[in-house]
Amino acid sequence: AQRVTQPEKLLSVFKGAPVELKCNYSYSGSPELFWYVQYSRQRLQLLLRHISRESIKGFTADLNKGETSFHLKKPFAQEEDSAMYYCALHGSSNTGKLIFGQGTTLQVKP
């Protein structure tokens, strides 16, 4: 079964501290992993995807197939990073269906 697990509902850090949002997945094939972000009162938007290997807004994520993880990291958190973060998995080759984790709220305190 395809599943995405984000173990933390809430992650609270101080500005300037490192951030790691955890994401583990379950999928037997070759998955594509994504991180979506939802800022307050805004729509869900793509933050990054593993195949592009980009760094967006200072965030990076590495796909670790051995540990089936795709953790999101940022070395120095900013207050504007406060938002809800969703990890998502695309497994099916014929559709665009995404499987989302439960989401983690990141709270960056001043």
Partner 1 sequence: DSGVTQTPKHLITATGQRVTLRCSPRSGDLSVYWYQQSLDQGLQFLIQYYNGEERAKGNILERFSAQQFPDLHSELNLSSLELGDSALYFCASSAYSGRSDRGTDTQYFGPGTRLTVL
| Residues of the shown chain interacting with partner 1 in the complex, contacts defined by CB under 8 A | 32, 36, 43-46, 49, 51, 86, 90, 92-103
Are 82 and 107 in contact, with CB atoms under 8 Å apart?
Answer: yes
Q: How far is the CB of 79 from partner 1 (least distance, A)?
A: 24
Q: How far is the CB of 59 from partner 1 (least distance, A)?
A: 16
Chain centroid to CA 40:
17
| Residue type for position 93 | S
Q: How far apart are CA 46 and CA 48, in angstroms?
A: 6
Task: Rank residues 59 and 77 by Cβ distance to partner 1 and give the closer one.
Answer: 59
Task: Rank residues 9 and 110 by Cβ distance to partner 1 and give the closer one.
Answer: 9
